[in-house]
Copies of this chain bind each other. A is one copy, B any other.
Amino acid sequence: MNNHESTHSGWPPISNGLTDIGRMLISCPDRPGIVAAVSRFLYEQGANIVHSDQHSTDPSGGTFFMRVEFQLPELEKRGPELEQAFAPVAEAFRMDWRLAYAGRVKRLAVFVSKAEHTLFELLWQRRAGDLRAEIAMVISNHPDLGETVEGWGIPFHYVPIEQGRKHEAEARQLELMAGRVDAVVLARYMQILTRQFIAQYPYRIINIHHSFLPAFVGANPYARAYERGVKLIGATAHYVTEELDAGPIIEQDVQRVDHRHNVDDLKRIGRHIERVVLARAVSWHVEDRVLVHGNKTVVFA
């Protein structure tokens, strides 16, 4: 097991207190006995449950979701044996499940174009220790933010997207990320990904859309919000799927606006909503708090 955390020079490490913490993520058809079986299993393994969240879409015939955070001495070493021991329990309840090791801090590739605000928020939250992930690299189709990003001690890769040659650019991006990245954050990245790229990181690509979806899907949402005369503007963080701006929503928020605000004001106010919404969604993802169910999410925040 290699070390998943490469701290930035001078920044505090963020794995403190996460060693020996495991997170069991489960979804299965609901029926009596699931919680009893899982909690008994963990108890018998010597694990101490720290947090536990459950949700059922319907106790009769619905889907059951569970996130259990537990502490187990020497988890990193004992993990494989634990997973093996859990297999029969999982099978009995037809569970879709995984065990996440909190100590293996997730590594992010942040994709940007020219706008810096959502990237900066992620960097600041990482530096403050609020975002418990490593920003392994920043990839951009413009060179503009390179100097700033490298000034923060983070690798910056300029990968231009030439007309009609997106597949080549994406191949380069995937090569840069291979084995070094657990999830992709589109921090106001102004390119549409191909379905082939998306398939490489299923439900591990998070986009921030600058509207309160499903209102204003597509381009220029602030200009269209202005035209429609809405009294609130919003932002939406969602997993990227093939259909544009239609993937499972992780988080949304809004802010009040009024007739005094022109399109530039909406963009300025919107920048603050985008920063907060994307940072929350990324934090929840890297802390294994988001489970996808159909085209929706269960967020154990």
Which chain B residues border A229 with CB–CB below 8 Å?
248-249, 295-297
Smallest Cβ-Cβ distance to A295: which chain B residue: B229
When chains A and B are docked, how far (Å) is the Cα of A130 from the Cα of B39? 34
Could you tell me if B258 and A232 are in contact, using CB atoms closer than 8 angstroms?
no
Give min CB distance, A271 to chain B, whole Å.
7
For A216, what are the chain B residues with a Cβ–Cβ distance below 8 Å?
A: 214
Q: Which of B31, B228, B234, B252 contacts A214 (CB 8 A)?
A: B228
A258 to chain B: closest CB distance in Å? 7
CA distance A292 to B47 in the complex (A): 28
Q: How far is the CB of A257 from chain B (nearest CB, A)?
A: 10
A292-B129 Cα distance, complex, nearest whole Å: 32
Is A201 in contact with chain B by the CB < 8 A criterion?
no
Min distance, Cβ A208 to any Cβ of chain B, angstroms: 14
Interface string of A216-256 (1 = CB under 8 A from B): 10000000000011111010000000000000111111100
Residue of B nearest to A71 (CB): B59
Beta-carbon contact of A49 and B71 below 8 Å: no
Digitize A20-53: 1 where CB-to-B-CB distance is under 8 Å, 0 elsewhere: 0000000000011101100110110011111110
**A interface size (C-beta, 8 A):** 60
Q: Contact at A253–B232, with CB atoms within 8 Å?
A: yes
Set of chain B residues within 8 Å of A51, measured between Cβ atoms:
54, 56
Bound Cα distance A210, B33 (Å): 39
Q: Is A249 in contact with B272, judged by CB distance below 8 angstroms? A: no
Q: Is the CB of B43 within 8 A of A32?
A: yes
| A167 CB–B CB distance under 8 Å | no
Residues of chain A at the chain B interface (Cβ within 8 Å):
31-33, 35-36, 39-40, 42-43, 46-52, 54-56, 59, 71, 116-117, 120, 124, 128, 130, 151, 212-216, 228-232, 234, 248-254, 258-260, 268, 271-272, 276, 293, 295-299, 301
* List of 7 A-B pairs having minimum Cβ-Cβ separation, nearest first: A229-B296, A36-B39, A215-B215, A36-B43, A35-B39, A231-B252, A259-B298
20 contacts between A and B (CB under 8 A): A32-B43, A32-B49, A35-B39, A35-B52, A36-B40, A51-B54, A51-B56, A117-B124, A120-B124, A124-B124, A212-B232, A213-B215, A214-B215, A214-B216, A228-B249, A232-B253, A232-B254, A254-B254, A258-B301, A259-B297
